[in-house]
Chain A
Amino acid sequence: MKSQKKNIDRRSFLRTSALAGGGMIIGFNLFNACKPQVKPAIDISKLNFNDFNGFIKIADNGMVTIFAPNPEIGQGVKTSMPMLIAEELDVSWDNVHVVQGGLDMDVFQRQVAGGSQSIRHGWEPLRQTGATAKQMLVNAAAAKWGVDAKECSVENGVISNKKGEKLGYGEVVLDAAKLEVPKDVKLKDPKDFKIIGQDVQNVDVDEIITGKPLFGIDFKREGMLYASVMRPPAFGQKLVSFDDTEAKAKDGVVDVFQFGDKIAVLATSTWIAMRAKKSLKATWKEDTTLESTEDHDKILLDLLAGNKFETLRKDGDINKAFKEADSVLERTYESPFLPHNCLEPMNFFADVTDKKVELVGPIQTPAGTANRIAKELERDIKDISLEMTRMGGGFGRRLYGDFAIEAALISNIAKKPIQVLFSREDDMADGIYKPAIKYKISAAIKDSKVTGYHLKEAAINSNMYGLIPNFFPAGAIENYQVDIANYKSNITTGAWRAPYTNFLAFAEQSFFDELAETMDVDKIQLRLDLLQNVKGTTDERIQYSPERLEAVINEAVEKSNWGKVDKNTYQGFSAYYCHNTHVAEVADVVMEAGVPVVKKVTCVLDCGIVVNPLGARNQVEGGVLDGIGHAMYGNLEFKDGVPQSTNFHNYRLVRMKETPKVEVHFIENEIAPTGLGEPALPPASAAVANAIKAATGIRITKQPFINASEKIFG
């Protein structure tokens, strides 16, 4: 990822239109600094609302509709991004109605849910949008009164002048829409925030708790058919032939056909489609190698032992450091493939006709997916509309539009509106998994100091992205090198919540504990001492702030009563920086019936200004538990290309009784906010492993923990 700093050209920032029936629409042209041209004003009366992306709508009664620009996967941006607009618009949150914006690829550069970047990217432009709209409304009121706009003030959507006269936003909105867009609006000082920093409930909570149809799977269309797809059972297989006699004979089955190496069954209900698919008799043949987990284990360990590496970062001379070392510590850490297992299985609606391509469903990358579908169907992108629904989880799986493309292809063949739904078995077996990854970490110790650090990664298909080698401990150790190697597999892999760092944090933060034990120094002090070396660095590649990481570590020590808990509680520590957020976590473990049980995790984060503390804590609680759950139980193995877990009876997800209490603390400051969907997850597993080591004396280096040692979990 490149530097995210952008200059916002405010002249092209907004487009406004008066609504025929009263009110004003303000389209906020997010992230348009990348676009050279300014779009002409649009005649709103000729547009369907869905043709816009994000915008503000102010009704003449003062009610404000804010369109949430980014896809909602449970990370809370449908609530928190509109809060940024409402804050600067100076309206009461009670008068705000939030609606999911549609896809507008002309306007948005980043309409994506991924990388914990929505709030970070939206912080400036969304507040600018609100502030600019507010200024126009004030200007309109001032003109009406014949006073200077500077003499007016706003509170909760009501403008006042010095004489005490008042005008509501709704009363001046039509005049405001005709005004020129002001250039240099001033944003609020954080100490004046009224909405940002307040606990705001999820804007969809009422619909969720009453079972309203919000999700992709809930989308229905008159005459829609339900599609169930049979895909190759093993990675590396292709379709030879199939017999659909039995399937076609079933009541309610409308059509069965092949597309690519897949077979689609179309029926009048989900159940009929799923059941008919099971009755298909298909023959498959080996196309490429059918791979197994034991092959991968050997391949990755061989890669780590070999010399086919690409170097991502090299400081000093590690060879010299290791040669001159008093002692060397070397450890290998191993992690399996993981499916995402969004609780709402992959699904999408498509209606492809000669005139248009209509797509509706849960997708983290609406623009990219619409583009891919245009290519697949050889259609003009203008023919394609895509409506984003709320998503029953994302975790990275819904970055990939494979399921939406399937829906489009099927509808294109059938010439009917259809909905593709993966069964849970499909979802687990046709995944785009977190790849199996192994790390070997070596440290050179001389004169009681860490003088060399060598991190090697061996991964399936792809390696850590370019910024990661500049995370801690980069810059803290004089001789430092990060090397990567990979093996190309036919098993599909991709981003899984906090890609790479989800396991790298486990490896490194476990290693630092081992290093401290080897050096016979305090575990936390070792990390703090290393951070001192980074302070004042002139190395612009370094991504983290040593001061902010130090602060969360110290706060976690304090809040967790580190070292001061009762003798039956064993604590484990971990601190990590990723996704622009600094985090420290302490896990408290007790032995119950001879087995270590995690009772509490204390988590301290510095994500800058916390936009919505209620939602932010939810992300952190969930992120910590997700990290622990997958480290404990997550494991997808392959045998001859076939995933060995098929559903939740043989793939274990963390459940209520296995979850500790999570205590969340944020560092208070006025720094621009960063994301929270991912960064709480990576440090959690090492905190637990380090606590288990303290409790049992056994060091876990391989996930899932549950398989690590019979001596621990029986």
Chain B
Amino acid sequence: MAKYKLQVNNKSYDIEVSEDTPILWVLRDHLNLLGTKYGCGIGQCGACTIHLNGEPVRSCSLPISSVADKSITTIEGISEAGDHPVQLAWKEIDVPQCGYCQAGQIMTATAFLEKNPNPNSDEIRDAMHGNICRCASYNRIEKAVAKAATANS
């Protein structure tokens, strides 16, 4: 066990866990931030995507010991009132079916649009390829990312 100081959604947390504990489980089991989801544990499905200093990363494969001094953003932290343009687009297009993967999808999409505010369809499909949606709501994910990009511009 070791002590860590974490910056999550602009709040500071003190936490004591073993150094190999993935951030995913720190968020879920210790900080009660349950929006970030467990899907595979090996960085393959994207359900656990968070931002680390603005970069999208897989929190299931990221031990706490590797994130010291970095700022973490989770689905709970991307907007105050659920009104980030990506969230609004997700709502308007009515993307979710079961909804389980969608936090990870939204985190990938928001980081992507920060870097590429005006993507074409191929770029959207490339960017979202790493996130599995088992319900296969892919047509709507693509539409929602495109819509959020339009709202940004």
Chain A residues close to B by CB (< 8 Å):
73-76, 199, 201-202, 204-206, 208-215, 217-218, 220, 226, 251, 269-272, 274-275, 341-345, 390-395, 421, 423-424, 614-615, 618-619, 621-622, 625-626, 629, 647-649, 653-657, 659, 661-662
Contacts and interface: CB of A to CB of B under 8 A. Distances in A.
Interface string B113-153: 00000000000011011111111111111100000000000
Interface in B40-82: 40-42, 44-45, 47, 74-76, 79, 82
Given A271-B22, A622-B97, A656-B142, A209 B136 contact: no
A590 B25 CA distance: 44
A270 B32 CA distance: 13
Nearest to B87: A209
B94 A202 contact: yes
Contacts of A618: 94, 97, 137, 140
Interface string B84-98: 000100110010111
Contacts, number: 181
A271 B21 contact: yes
A618 B137 CA distance: 7
B101 interface: yes
A217 B28 CA distance: 10
Contacts of A626: 134-136
A210 B98 contact: no
A390 to B, nearest CB: 7
B98 A621 contact: no
Given A209-B82, A209-B90, A648-B45, A343 B101 contact: yes
Contacts of B132: 343, 648, 653, 655
A209 B106 contact: yes
18 contacts: A75-B97, A201-B91, A208-B99, A210-B76, A212-B35, A269-B17, A269-B29, A342-B100, A344-B98, A345-B38, A392-B100, A424-B39, A625-B136, A626-B135, A649-B44, A656-B138, A657-B126, A659-B138
A299 to B, nearest CB: 30
Contact of A656 (B29, B75, B129): B129
B103 interface: yes
Nearest to A220: B32
Greatest chain A CB density within 10 A among B22, B74, B137 is at: B137
A509 to B, nearest CB: 20
A625 B79 CA distance: 31
A206 B99 CA distance: 11
Given A209-B87, A211-B35, A621 B75 contact: no
A661 B139 contact: yes
A217 B32 CA distance: 12
Contacts of B37: 215, 217, 343-344, 392
B4 to A, nearest CB: 14
A209 B142 contact: no
Contacts of B18: 251, 271-272
A550 B131 CA distance: 39
A288 B94 CA distance: 48
Interface of B, helix, strand, loop or mixed by DSSP: loop
Interface residues of B, number: 59
A226 B38 CA distance: 14
Nearest to B89: A209
Given A251-B18, A622-B136, A647 B32 contact: no
Given A270-B28, A392-B98, A342 B134 contact: yes
B106 to A, nearest CB: 6
A213 B41 CA distance: 19
Contact of A211 (B39, B76, B97, B134): B76
The list of the 4 closest CB pairs from A to B, nearest first, reads A211-B35, A74-B98, A392-B100, A211-B75
Given A74-B135, A206-B91, A626-B135, A648 B42 contact: yes
B99 A214 contact: yes
B87 A621 contact: no
Contact of A629 (B33, B79, B96, B136): B136
A275 B22 CA distance: 11
A199 B91 CA distance: 13
A251 B18 CA distance: 9
A41 to B, nearest CB: 38
B87 to A, nearest CB: 5
Contact of B102 (A209, A622, A649, A659): A209
B153 to A, nearest CB: 21
Contacts of A75: 97
B136 A654 contact: yes
B127 to A, nearest CB: 9
B100 to A, nearest CB: 3
A380 B30 CA distance: 36
Contacts of B141: 656
Contacts of B44: 647-649
Contact of A213 (B34, B134, B138): B34
Nearest to A214: B99
Contact of A218 (B34, B101, B106): B34
Given A210-B75, A269-B29, A205 B134 contact: no
A657 B134 CA distance: 14
Contacts of A220: 32, 34
Given A271-B29, A343-B134, A618-B137, A647 B142 contact: no
Contact of B100 (A209, A215, A654): A215
Contacts of A661: 139
Nearest to B24: A271
Contacts of A199: 94
Interface string B1-20: 10000000000000001101
B138 to A, nearest CB: 4
B130 to A, nearest CB: 8
B140 A393 contact: no
A656 B38 contact: no
A619 B34 CA distance: 26
A249 to B, nearest CB: 13
B94 to A, nearest CB: 5
Contacts of A210: 35, 75-76, 79, 82, 87
